[in-house]
Amino acid sequence: MYLTICYITKNESQNLAESLSSIREAADQILVVDTGSTDDTAAVARRFGADVLSFPWCDDFSAARNFALDHVPTVADPDHWLLFLDADESFFAPAGFRAWLETLSAKQPSIEGVLMTRVEVDADAEDLEIERSPMLRLWRHRPIYRYHSTIHEVLVDTRTGLAPAPCVVDRHFLLRHTGYSSARVRDKLLRDYAMLQEQVRQHGEQPLTARYLADACYGLGRYEEAADYARRALAANVATFAGDRGLYGVLLRSLRALGRPLEEQQAVVDEALAHLAGTARAEFVGWQGRLRLAAGDAAGAHEDLAECLTALADASAASADGGAGQVGSSGAAADLPDLYAADAQARFALGQKEAAEKQAMAALASNPYQEEALTVLAKCLPDGAAFLSRVLPLYPAPEKGASFLATFAERQMLPSLRVAAARHLSSEERESRARVTELFAQAQAGDLAKLMQGLPLLAGQAVQQLFAALVLLPESRRHAQPARAAEWQAVLPAPMRRLLDVFHAMQDAGEAGDGSVPQLAPGDEGTFFTGLDSLDGFATEAQLLPYARLAEAFGPAALLRTAQWLYDREMAAAAFDLLQRIPADFLSEREQAASFWYLTGRALYALGADGAAECFDRAEAAGCTARQIAFYRQGITASTSSEEVRA
């Protein structure tokens, strides 16, 4: 057997070194096609023994990949395999990979490709797992296999236009992918969006353009636009190998993110069920089950979810036996943790504890960070040590898994699990969280009062979460239970209590209109930003905005900082609301004006609103040198051209 490993790179020196370190021992040849790096990517590749070729970037991923395929040499060994990796993909545990491939190749000569399981992790959040999905990364090297499409490139058999078949799914040699970490994904999606719009400008809207724009807009949090593109793509009725499963999924996720009524979401599910077949249809039976669960119909939810999961399991078994036709089902595999978790919730609601535990474990086997599954399992296994013995082995990095579970236990107030998880933390983290562990140990022993009394001493996550809960507490509940709300608030440190007093007074005065609101002092600014961080991940954009507006009390610099915080979390509308509150005299300083106009332009661009180009002009006039301005201008030009084409 002969194995060639290929990469397409541009300024990937750090990622490439990590990827090559994980797999170079298995390779007979490494081929790196560089598309214009200005760092030492090429030198890194050569250090690992790679052949390095140059390819001028032409805004076409398939062209670059096919260039690489053209330069894979013909070897005497007829059993020639090709592993095509992204530079930000590496193996968690590559030991035995070559031996496994040799065995597969010899025992299953009809197999043409392997869907490797890719684990999306957020490298900016301690490798928090996002999802897992099978990706075609490994196949027998043949001239008939070529890449197609400018972006979202796919490997196809040029004789059929379909993916190589049959393929098998491998779930043992997991790929760690960091390309969609929180600090990077937005730039990638903006790049894709601009490239697609440029395609429209040059060639008009192609049959698949709306499909790809739906994906990009969903990733950018532009849910209205994503839903619109998804509906347009479905209406176009363009036949693809992947089918319409992904479009219906984007449409449903967008509607859910927009908080649309369950009836509207069900109408989309009904349409998907009428148009899809096989595994793809089963996936939307699962969607229907989740909608029923949200409506409180646990029995109906379980019925649908059981049908869906059985169909997906049968399809997976057929693929494992070498059956064809499973290549397009990666989306269903990515949804498996959520489907199992929903069934676990339904089973628990029906009093089926053992079945609920089994389904929760099935969800966690696919994604150990699935919090609904963790919540159900914690109810089934209240003993922390027993819980941990089942779950901790599922994490690729156990110390990071223990850290996540410790935080989960703090949020859910699970003393037994919190104490058990502490034993598996790194020594440094164990020391830094020792006081929290002590309090939860006292709670585990039955002294809950000590835990509550100790919360002000933590000045950390538990306190911030309680603060967030009180900020987000509906006014109706706060007014209906004033004594209970005051009791909770009394647990907080004094600066947080004062901030909450002002926030609630402003809410009440907004209704009464009497203007009798206590004022915040400059010394409260630090507490305000601590509180803002505590709301991160707990509040929607609409929920965050009333609190964020408190920044106005601390002056325009605080407003700008808060607007940047909101924009970084893909809350462009809220960011723009705050930017509009900044007075004109703040812009007399060039540096402040540059920051203001650049951020305002980015917010307007993200919202798809007019005025972004003018803001970027003003930012540059004030001395802003951000290189991304050119990129945004390209997107604005392409978008304008796209509107003209549609008109």
Report d(CA 294, CA 199) in Å as an integer. Answer: 40
pLDDT given at position 396: 76
Give residue-wise pLDDT tens across range 150-203. 666 889 999 988 888 888 888 789 999 987 655 566 777 777 788 787 777 777
Read off the pLDDT band of 562 (50, 70, 90): very high
pLDDT given at position 317: 65
Find the mean pLDDT for residues 96-120. 93
- Start-to-end CA distance of the chain, whole Å, equals 56
Q: Is the pLDDT of residue 411 over 90?
A: no
pLDDT given at position 307: 94
Find the mean pLDDT for residues 406-428. 86
Find the mean pLDDT for residues 257-265. 90
Question: 281 or 509: whose pLDDT is higher?
Answer: 281
Report d(CA 250, CA 217) in Å as an integer. Answer: 10
Report d(CA 139, CA 84) in Å as an integer. Answer: 9
pLDDT given at position 204: 74
Q: Is the pLDDT of residue 593 over 80?
A: yes
CB-based contacts of 202, cutoff 8 Å, min separation 6? none
Report d(CA 554, CA 209) in Å as an integer. Answer: 45
* Residue pointed to by tokens 């990666």: 330
Read off the pLDDT band of 15 (50, 70, 90): very high
Find the mean pLDDT for residues 408-437. 83
In order, the DSSP letters of 345-392 are HHHHHTT-HHHHHHHHHHHHHH-TT-HHHHHHHHHH--SHHHHHHHHG
Q: Hey, what are 191's tokens?
A: 């790049």
CB-based contacts of 330, cutoff 8 Å, min separation 6? 115, 133, 134, 135
Report yes or no: 636 and 604 within 8 Å, Cβ to Cβ.
Answer: no
Q: Is the pLDDT of residue 52 over 70?
A: yes
As a whole number of Å, the CA-based R_g of the chain is 27
Strand pairing category for 113-122 and 128-140: antiparallel
Question: 609 or 424: whose pLDDT is higher?
Answer: 424
Considering the chain, what is the average pLDDT of its residues?
Answer: 84
Mean pLDDT lowest among 168-182, 262-276, 322-336, 418-432:
322-336
Read off the pLDDT band of 426 (50, 70, 90): confident
In order, the DSSP letters of 549-604 are GGGGGG-HHHHHHHHHHHHHTT-HHHHHHHHTTS-GGGGGSHHHHHHHHHHHHHHH
pLDDT given at position 150: 65
Question: 229 or 434: whose pLDDT is higher?
Answer: 229
Read off the pLDDT band of 482 (50, 70, 90): low
Find the mean pLDDT for residues 620-639. 80
Q: Return the C-alpha torsion angle 305, 308, 311, 313, nearest 10.
A: -60
Q: Is the pLDDT of residue 308 over 80?
A: yes
Q: Is the pLDDT of residue 461 over 70?
A: no
Q: Is the pLDDT of residue 322 over 50?
A: no
What is the dihedral sign for C-alpha 45, 46, 48, 50? positive
Q: Is the pLDDT of residue 327 over 50?
A: no
Mean pLDDT lowest among 60-69, 369-378, 542-551, 622-631:
622-631
pTM above 0.85, yes or no: no
Question: 376 or 452: whose pLDDT is higher?
Answer: 376
Report yes or no: 516 and 498 within 8 Å, Cβ to Cβ.
Answer: no
Give residue-wise pLDDT tens across range 193-240. 887 877 777 777 777 788 888 988 888 878 898 999 999 999 988 876
Report d(CA 173, CA 93) in Å as an integer. Answer: 7
Burial 519-548 (b: 16+ CB within 10 A, else e): ebeeebbebbbbbbebbeeebebeebbebb
SS3 60: coil
pLDDT given at position 512: 38
Q: Hey, what are 524's tokens?
A: 């409260």
Question: 647 or 518: whose pLDDT is higher?
Answer: 518
pLDDT given at position 192: 78
Report yes or no: 508 and 542 within 8 Å, Cβ to Cβ.
Answer: no
pLDDT given at position 644: 47
Report d(CA 575, CA 596) in Å as an integer. Answer: 11
Percentage of residues in the chain with pLDDT exceeding 90? 47
Q: Is the pLDDT of residue 642 over 50?
A: no
Report yes or no: 219 and 189 within 8 Å, Cβ to Cβ.
Answer: yes
pLDDT given at position 320: 46
What is the dihedral sign for C-alpha 236, 237, 240, 243? positive
pLDDT given at position 178: 86
Report yes or no: 551 and 577 within 8 Å, Cβ to Cβ.
Answer: no
* Residue pointed to by tokens 């790096």: 37
Report yes or no: 378 and 387 within 8 Å, Cβ to Cβ.
Answer: yes
Q: Hey, what are 572's tokens?
A: 């462009």
pLDDT given at position 487: 67
Q: Does domain 2-179 have CATH number 3.90.550.10?
A: yes
Find the mean pLDDT for residues 368-393. 94
Q: Is the pLDDT of residue 139 over 90?
A: yes
Mean pLDDT lowest among 17-21, 65-69, 78-82, 493-497:
493-497
Residue 185: phi and psi, rounded to 5, are -65, -35
Q: Is the pLDDT of residue 302 over 80?
A: yes
pLDDT given at position 80: 96
pLDDT given at position 326: 35
Question: 479 or 302: whose pLDDT is higher?
Answer: 302
Report yes or no: 198 and 216 within 8 Å, Cβ to Cβ.
Answer: no
pLDDT given at position 272: 94
pLDDT given at position 577: 94
pLDDT given at position 198: 77
Report d(CA 515, CA 523) in Å as an integer. Answer: 22
Percentage of residues in the chain with pLDDT exceeding 70? 85
